Amino acid sequence: MLTLRSKNKLNNIVKHSLIAGAFLLLVIFGAKIDLDLGGSVSFTLQTLFLGLAYYYLSIRWRFLLIIVYLGLGIVGLAVFNGGLGWAYFSSWPMGFFVGFVVTAFVYRPMGNRFLPVLGYFVQIHLIITLIGVMWIAYYLGSFSKGLETLVDILPGAVLKSFAGAGVILLAKKL
């Protein structure tokens, strides 16, 4: 027989599972939105949706979300932007994927004011970008390719950081 406490705990797990699942779908959807802005790296909304998920989820649920996402891609489901399976995961985008895991542990700001929230999204994008670019430079054996990728990614990261902060503020007003 379920006690009131265990029933509440079960309801809480179900609620958080549904929210994390919805964010997982958004991250997958965001990876598929591929805007060609002329650089060497695609502009997707993946990190915007990932940042939103991380803002609203606890660290435990963030980590679970990203592990499930990466696991789905590694086993061959088409959840990544440019490929699937272990061979793709462990190639040039691996640094970005590692960045996704690392940023799951970034603390969100206590309040919902614009500058702290913007700083949170900048931090998320900066960590993902730096780890990703360092891996690309290592993987390709070319510091200049890593730097070129950084230059290509930064404008999108800034735009997505402002968009993420804007979405949080809009959601707060609803």
* Structural domains in the chain, sorted by start: 9-33+42-173 (1.10.1760.20)
Which of 69, 24, 74, 67 lies closest to 49 in space, CA to CA?
24
What percent of the chain stands above pLDDT 70? 96
Of 49, 62, 59, which is closest to residue 20 (Cα–Cα)? 62
Q: What is the pLDDT of residue 73?
A: 97
160 — pLDDT class (breaks 50, 70, 90): very high
Burial bucket for residue 64 (CB in 10 Å: 0-12, 13-18, 19+): middle
What totals of helices (H) and strands (E) does the chain contain, helices first? 7, 0
Are the CB atoms for 72 and 96 separated by under 8 Å? no
* pLDDT interval class at 112 (50, 70, 90): confident
Residue 44 CB-half CA count within 13 A: 22
Overall pTM > 0.95: no
Q: From the CB of residue 164, how many other CB atoms can be counted at a distance below 10 Å? A: 25
The single-letter DSSP state of residue 35 is B
User: Does 40 have pLDDT greater than 70?
Assistant: no
User: For the chain, what is the mean pLDDT?
Assistant: 93
Return the structure tokens found at 3.
């006690």
Q: CA geometry: angle at 155 spanning 61 and 126, to 5°?
A: 40
Q: For residue 148, what pLDDT is reported?
A: 93
pLDDT tens across 116-159, in order? 999 999 999 999 999 999 999 999 999 999 999 999 999 999 99
Q: Rounded to an integer, what distance in angstroms lies between the CA atom of residue 118 and that of residue 161? A: 6
Higher pLDDT pick, 5 / 58:
58
DSSP 107: P
Longest dimension (CA), the chain: 63
Residue 2 confidence (pLDDT): 62
For the cut 90, the answer to whether the pLDDT of residue 167 exceeds it is: yes
Pull the structure tokens for residue 125.
Answer: 């994008």
pLDDT for the residue numbered 1: 55
Q: Which of 71, 69, 73, 74 is closest to 57 using CA atoms?
A: 69
Q: Please state the φ and ψ torsions of residue 43, each to the nearest 5 degrees.
A: -100, 110
Tell me which of 5-14, 52-61, 105-114, 151-160 is least confident: 5-14
Give the H or E element holding residue 78: none
What local confidence, expressed as pLDDT, does residue 82 receive? 86
Give the pLDDT mean for 93-104: 98
Residues in the chain: 174
Across the range 8-16, mean pLDDT stands at 86
